[in-house]
Amino acid sequence: MAGIESMIVEEKQPPTKQIDREKTCPLLLRVFCSTGRHHSPQEFQHGNVPSNELQIYTWQDATLRELTALVRDVNPETRRKGTYFDFALVSPDPYNQGYRMREIGVTCSGQRNADDGLSLAQAKFTIGDYMDINITPPNRVPQQRRRPY
């Protein structure tokens, strides 16, 4: 059986291209937070969006850890250690009228997490997508965590 080789392919995220934030114009990221659940994709249909919008100017190399810090700055109740932030992208569905939601990662206040360094570019964020964040306080049991990839 000469010539048989093991082919193990490890999927790695491509490195995030460094952006010069002094010279690159930021993008507007429209963020919608809720406690204990994600918004429904139907809440984004027909030009509507949920009422609790947070607008963040950032760059494609922004990480989930950075976005967590920005949300914590404006929502004092999310600063408690053990608060989970479950991130999802909401984007137009190319096959149907409406939107689809795709979970991209989870961070936790006061703890390191595997998804902390995930950038918007690595999550395949496209300008025009919305960010939906399910915030779970430390006194609640978080929903089962699953990696999208």
The CATH number given to whatever domain includes residue 65 is: 3.10.20.550
CB contact at 8 A, 125 and 72: no
Any domain includes 21: no
Any domain includes 57: yes
pLDDT grade for 50, boundaries at 50, 70 and 90? very high
Q: What is the DSSP string of 6-30?
A: -------PPPPPP--TTTS--EEEE
Q: Residue 46 is part of which domain span?
A: 27-136
Any domain includes 116: yes
Any domain includes 147: no
Structural domains in the chain (count): 1
Any domain includes 87: yes
pLDDT in tens, 85-140: 999 999 999 888 889 999 999 999 999 999 999 999 999 999 999 999 999 998 77
Q: What is the mean pLDDT of residues 22-51?
A: 92
Any domain includes 122: yes
Token pair 């509507």: residue? 48
Any domain includes 11: no
Whole-number pLDDT of residue 146: 46
pTM over 0.75: yes
